[in-house]
Amino acid sequence: MTKELLYKYVLALGDDALIIGQRLSQWAYKGPFLEEDIALSNISLDMFGRANLFLEYAATLKGDGATADELAFKRNEREFCNHILCEQPNGNFADTMVRQFFLDAFNKLFLQKLIESKDEQLSAIAQKSIKETTYHLRHSSKWIIRLGDGTAESHAKVQSAINNLWMFTDELFESNKIDHEMVKQKIGVDCSLIKVEWDKIIDEVLSEATLSRPENSNMLSGGRAGIHTEHLGHLLSDMQYLQRAYPDAKW
Amino acid sequence: MVKEISTDAIWELLKAIPDPEIPAVSIVDLGIVRNVEFDDDQFKITITPTYNGCPAFSFMKEEIIRRLELVGIANFKVSTSLAPPWTTDWMSDEVKSKLKEAGIAPPSSKVKCPQCDSNKAEVISEFGSTACKAMYKCLECLEPFHHFKQI
Ligand SMILES: [Zn+2]
C-alpha cells in the first residue's frame, strides 16, 4: 500500500518537472536574445534531468520492467498529475517569467523540506536539485524586478501575467490523500506549511518590482487528480509524437 | 577469478577520459568518478552527475564502458550515486589551474578574469553554453570569459 502511494507521489513530482521542462524547451532558438535563449534552455535541461531522476525512481517503484521513458511518453493526459501551472502556455516573455518565478519560489521551499525526507532517494534528488533551483529563482526574480520596474509596457505585461496566472497558484499548496499519508510517514512535504514563506518571497519581489499581488478569485486546481486545462493535451501530442508514431524508437 | 588488474590501473584509465564539454580536464579531475573498488570478482565504478540536466553525463558513462572494454576488461559495473551531491569543492588546486589555462575562471566566490587576473568582472548571464558555466565580462581587458560555477 505504501509503495503504491509512494509511486504516485514520486510520479507527480516527476510530472511537474517534465511538463515545465517541455514548456521551457519550446523557447529554444526563440529567446529574446542569445544569453536568455541559452538560460531558458539550460533551465529546461535541469528540469528534464530532474524529471528523469523522479521518473526513474517511480519506474523502479512500479516494477514490472517499467521505465522512465514509458512513463513520460506512453501515458495519456488524464494519467498525468502535474500541477496545472506547469502546463500553462509560454505566452509572451513576461508570462513565462511569472510562471517560472511562482514555480521556482515554490520548488526552492519544497526541496528544502524534501531534503529531510525519510526516503533516501527522494532526499538525494532534493539535495541535488536545490542547487539548481537556487540559480533558477535568482534568474526569474531578477527578471520580474527588471520587467516590473522597467518601461510602462513591460510593467503592464508582467502585471497582466501575474493577474492571469494567479488562479493556478493555490493548487501548489493543496494536499490530497497521498500527500497526507506521505507527510504522516515523514516521506513527503506538508505544502500548507510552506505557503507563508512562499507569500513572503512573492511579496518581497513584487514590491521591489512595483507590482501588486491580485486577490484570490476563481482559483483552479485538479492537476494532481488528472484534471487539466486544455493546454496539456497539445503539449503531450507534441512531446509524445515520436514514441507514439514509432514505438520504442531509439537514436 | 583472479584479479589481474589493480584498481589503481582502472583509475589511470579513467583519468585519461576527458570531460566531453571541457576537454582540458578529465572526469576524474572533476570528481565525477567517486569510487572504484574490486568486490565479488567485479570492478565497481561509482560516478555522480554534475548537474541533473547535464547532457554529457550519459556520454561519460558510455565512454567509461567503451574504454574499459577496449582494453579487454569485462568484469565491471558502472553505477550512479546522487548523494552526497556533486560539489566544485572536490576540485583540486591543480585542476583549477588547468581550467584557468583553458580560459575558464575556476569556481570561486571571487571571480577573477582568467586572462589578466583582474577581479573587476561583471556577470553577463548565469547560464552559459553548458550547465556548469556562467558568462562574465572582464572590465579591465574587456574579454568575455566563462566562470565554472561554484556549487
Ligand atoms: Zn581581463
Positive or negative torsion for Cα A33, A34, A35, A36: positive
B53, B86, B128 member nearest A46 (Cβ):
B53
Structure pTM? Answer: 0.92
Examine the fold and report which residue of B86, B117, B138 is the final residue of a domain before the chain moves on: B86
The domain that holds A130 is classified in CATH as 1.20.1260.10
Q: How far is CA A27 from the centre of its chain?
A: 16
Question: What mean pLDDT is predicted for residues A9-33?
Answer: 96
Mutating which of B21, B51, B151 best tests the A interface, going by the most A Cβ atoms within 10 A? Answer: B51
In this prediction, residue B3 carries a pLDDT of 58
Give me the residue label for grid cell 558510455: B62
Strand partners, B123: B136
Same domain, B28 and B74: yes
Q: Give a yes or no: residue A146 inside a domain.
A: yes
Residue A130 and residue A112 in contact, taking contact as beta carbons nearer than 8 Å: yes
Whether residue B140 sits in one domain with residue B74 = no
CB contact under 8 A, A44 and B126: no
Examine the domain organization and report whether B78 and B143 are in the same domain. no
How far, in Å, from the CA of B141 to the mean position of ligand 1?
4
Residue-level pLDDT at B131: 82
Q: Which residues of A touch B55 (CB under 8 A)?
A: 45
Same domain, B37 and B80: yes
Q: Are residues B49 and B114 in the same domain?
A: no
Of A35, A45, A123, the CB nearest to B125: A35
B117 and B50 in a common domain? no
Residue B106's domain comprises 91-148
Handedness of CA A214, A134, A86, A62 (dihedral sign): negative
Question: Does the pLDDT of residue B139 top 80, yes or no?
Answer: yes
Dig out the grid coordinates for A179 from the structure. 500527500
- Let me know the angle formed at the C-alpha of B143 by B139 and B148, rounded to the nearest 5 degrees: 95
All residues of chain B having their beta carbon less than 8 Å from the beta carbon of residue A39 are 125-127
Are B99 and B136 in the same domain?
A: yes
- CATH of residue B70's domain is 3.30.300.130
Of the residues B37, B68, B86, the one at which a domain ends: B86
Instruction: Please give the tally of structural domains in chain A.
Output: 1
Q: Are B149 and B88 in contact (CB under 8 A)?
A: yes
Provide the pLDDT for residue A85: 98
pLDDT (average), residues A229-239:
97
Contacts (Cβ under 8 Å, ≥6 apart) of A217: A167
Cβ contact, residue pair B53, A138, below 8 Å: no
Whether residue B81 is found in the same domain as residue B62: yes
Question: Which domain covers residue A58, as residue numbers?
Answer: 3-245
Question: What is the rounded distance in angstroms from the CA atom of residue A74 to the CA atom of residue A68?
Answer: 10
Overall number of domains in chain B: 2
Please check whether residues B20 and B60 belong to one and the same domain: yes
Cα gap B144→B70, rounded to integer Å: 40
Q: What is the pLDDT of residues A107-136, one digit of tens each?
A: 999 999 999 999 999 999 999 999 999 999
Contact B51 A46 (CB under 8 A): yes
